[in-house]
Structure 1
Amino acid sequence: MATPSFSSDTTIDEIADRIYRISTPVEIPGGGGFSFNQYLIDDDEPLLFHTGLRKMFPVVADAVARIVALDRLRYVGFSHFEADECGALNAFLAVAPRAEPLCGQIAAMVSVSDYADRPPRALDDGETVSLGRHSVRWLYTPHLPHAWECGFLMETTSATLLCGDLFTQGGSHLPPLTESDILEPSEAFRREMDYFSHTRNARVMLERLAALKPTTLACMHGSAWRGDGAALLRGLADSVERG
């Protein structure tokens, strides 16, 4: 994939109570529009989920600073070890002296303990971290959609699932939050790009996520979504099983 060009068109929108979507639209040469989203939970112990690519740090940091002072960041989390998830991790650690990388045990073992300039807080499956009014629970989902270390955070107070690369939608200027169908466009994108791992355990893991009954899905690419998250996740499981 060709290198995208970054603009100053980054937007900030509150998608749930004090949970903000920071979205940077890009145009990928030969690949059309796309978006990179980060999610900031503004609380006593603020958490940023996804950092964006290393070269995105200036625009993402500027957006974060409009909501909370950068030196207040307490956690910088991500779903799995990939440039758009944590490329700017060390840049954020440099401006946030209290911040810890937040990831699963596998990510800490295979990548983050070596890569990060500060030791990570490595979470066990199901472990919960209090941020103040909010709390997040780590859900280990190996190879869903890809990467051995993959997992998601469920914000339990607002029933918001920080679902990483699930339901990735193409396009660069989609609504920040939608109640329209995102399954069909995200599945069309998956089938074209073939970025899921084809794990045999996808149904079991998606059913586990569905059982949490999320009402907001904070997608990393495209619109965040509001509605019956359990039904949407089970719809994804059905679609993945069909191939």
Structure 2
Amino acid sequence: MPVTNAQSGTRVDEVAEGIYRISTPVPPTVIPGGFSFNQYLVVDDEPLLFHTGPRRMFPLVREAIASVLPVERLRHLAFSHFESDECGAVNDLLAAAPAAAPVCGRINAMINADAWDRPPRALSDGETLSLGRHRVTWRDTPHLPHGWECGYLHEETTRTLLCGDLFTQGGEGGAPLTREDVLGPSEALRARLDYFSHGRDAGALLERLAGHAPRTLACMHGSAWEGDGAALLRELAVALAR
């Protein structure tokens, strides 16, 4: 560690206590401007992976997980909404981890359960899952930024918000963890390719997430961020309301 595959540049970095960012860069020759795909591994009695990455990245993600803990120890494969980079490798990981199960919100489980080789554990809004030392709470966020079934997990012990596509940054990944501006780069990307559904409840949903007072924002694309997460979420709400 931190680089687990020299050819792809996949790396693993601890961004909060017991929470590891797995990041694979994609060069500008593949995606204009470059991009990155991140997964977050919560190491505990019942390890949890948030996002699986696209299926084609499964060998890289498996290799990265194995640098931290045996893949077969995974118990929870969680994701925000139904999209390739969120849950494309679920069935591959289920085959590698016999005790694991998908974890998602109730709407996702209702409309997509047949996609996975084992039944998902469906979490209700506000439901908490204990992993051991860590506790994750599910928050429904329909259409934020997109997807009726969208939601996020907040890890209470470290106050880490596993915030999926919020604050998506372009480029090949940046620093694993930063205090630098991520709202500006994410808004610049949104100006070019607006991936938000602009639902009427976006501001209220962001305020609910801000109420957790997160100090680490675990972004799916780009750097994870640390600081006053509540203030940054409220700044995003203002930007979306313009």
TM beyond 0.5: yes
Q: Kindly provide the CA deviation profile for residues 51-82 of structure 1, in whole angstroms up to 9, marking residues without a partner as x.
A: 00000000000000111111100000000000
Counterpart in the other structure of 1:79 = 80
Counterpart in the other structure of 1:188 = 188
Counterpart in the other structure of 1:68 = 69
Secondary structure of 2:27 counterpart: strand
Counterpart in the other structure of 1:224 = 224
Residues 154 and 162 in structure 1, CA contact (< 8 A), matched pair in contact too: yes
Residue identity opposite 2:46 in structure 1: E
Counterpart in the other structure of 1:3 = none
Shift of 1:192: 1.0
After TM superposition, the structure 1 = structure 2 runs for residues 50-199 of structure 1, keeping only pairs within 5 Å, are 50-111=51-112, 113-199=113-199
Residue identity opposite 2:201 in structure 1: N
Residues 7 and 25 in structure 1, CA contact (< 8 A), matched pair in contact too: no
Shift of 1:233: 0.1
Secondary structure of 1:61 counterpart: helix
Distance 2:169 2:147 in 1: 19
Counterpart in the other structure of 2:48 = 47
Residue segments in structure 1 that go unaligned for 5+ positions in a row: 1-5
TM-score (norm 2): 0.96
| Runs of 4+ displaced beyond 4 Å | none
Residues 23 and 173 in structure 2, CA contact (< 8 A), matched pair in contact too: no
Residues 173 and 221 in structure 2, CA contact (< 8 A), matched pair in contact too: no
Higher mean Cα deviation, 72-81 or 20-29? 20-29
Shift of 1:104: 0.3
Secondary structure of 1:146 counterpart: coil
Secondary structure of 1:84 counterpart: helix
Shift of 1:173: 3.9
Shift of 1:171: 0.5
Residues 70 and 96 in structure 1, CA contact (< 8 A), matched pair in contact too: yes
RMSD: 1.1
Distance 1:123 1:12 in 2: 28
Distance 1:204 1:7 in 2: 43
Residue identity opposite 2:97 in structure 1: A
Classify 1:235/1:119 alpha carbon distance in 2 versus 1 (closer, same or farther; 3 Å).
same
Residue identity opposite 2:88 in structure 1: G
Distance 2:32 2:53 in 1: 19
Residue segments in structure 2 that go unaligned for 5+ positions in a row: 1-5
Distance 1:228 1:168 in 2: 18
Classify 1:185/1:240 alpha carbon distance in 2 versus 1 (closer, same or farther; 3 Å).
same
Counterpart in the other structure of 1:239 = 239
